[in-house]
Amino acid sequence: AQSVTQLDSQVPVFEEAPVELRCNYSSSVSVYLFWYVQYPNQGLQLLLKYLSGSTLVKGINGFEAEFNKSQTSFHLRKPSVHISDTAEYFCAVSATDSWGKLQFGAGTQVVVTP
Amino acid sequence: EPEVTQTPSHQVTQMGQEVILRCVPISNHLYFYWYRQILGQKVEFLVSFYNNEISEKSEIFDDQFSVERPDGSNFTLKIRSTKLEDSAMYFCASSTRSSGRKDTQYFGPGTRLTVL
């Protein structure tokens, strides 16, 4: 079984400041890792994913994440946020031997203010 | 850009009634999923579906629930005899290849189900 912990439920940040959203996971098997974003009144949209290879993954809208196997973490970062980045962000894992079942964290609400 | 659509956006029903939530996945996708999110809780996996069969389901997905692909475009989730605790946002998702593990799941905007 897998579990995902997002350490911050809400992160306030000023426009043009950097942001880091923390995600830790536990699993007895190998996993793939994902970050999804949910804008108000919309569905979940994939930001980026780690399947294998380079541990630094770049996604859409200037986001990147780093997979750290020893720390079982997959933290999401953006060097300079915009007002439009205000949304809820979900970290998720999928066991490599599953049929695509995603296990989500509780989400982190990012609020960007001018 | 193709997207997953869901209808209705909001469904209100009385406890004990049956509801059908509808989804239209992206047209060339082969894997289909339902997730739900109870207010204030995590998004939870319910079921995955491929080649007209359930490929994986969670403990939540008991006999009260069923899924169907009645035609070439729709994917439905039926909840028989709804309970108060079924109130949640239900998300449909789809992905491309026959082995959906690696592929991006594209999510619909959700159906908010309220059971009174």
B111 in a domain, yes or no? Answer: no
B25 touching chain A per CB within 8 A: no
In a domain, B109, yes or no: no
Report the CATH number at residue B27.
2.60.40.10
CA torsion, points B62, B89, A72, A50, in degrees to nearest 10? 100
Nearest-Cα residue of chain B relative to residue A47: B104
Domain A2-113 adopts which CATH fold? Answer: Immunoglobulin-like (2.60.40)
Antiparallel, parallel or unpaired: β B19-24 and B5-7: antiparallel
Is B78 among the domain residues? yes
| Number of domains chain B is built from | 1
pLDDT tens for A74-95 read 999 999 999 999 999 999 999 8
Residue B110 included in any domain: no
Model confidence pLDDT, tens digit, residues A1-57: 889 999 999 999 999 999 999 999 999 888 899 999 999 878 899 999 998 888 999
Q: What does the mean pLDDT of chain A come to? A: 93
Domain span at residue B41 reads 5-9+17-98
Q: Is B115 within a domain?
A: no
Nearest residue, CB atoms, B102 vs list A32, A46, A105: A32
Does B107 map to a domain? no
Q: A76 with A67: CB under 8 angstroms?
A: no
CB contact under 8 Å between A46 and B48, yes or no, is no
Asked if residue B98 has pLDDT above 80, the reply is no
Residue B108 is assigned to a structural domain of this protein: no
pLDDT (0 to 100) of residue B97: 66
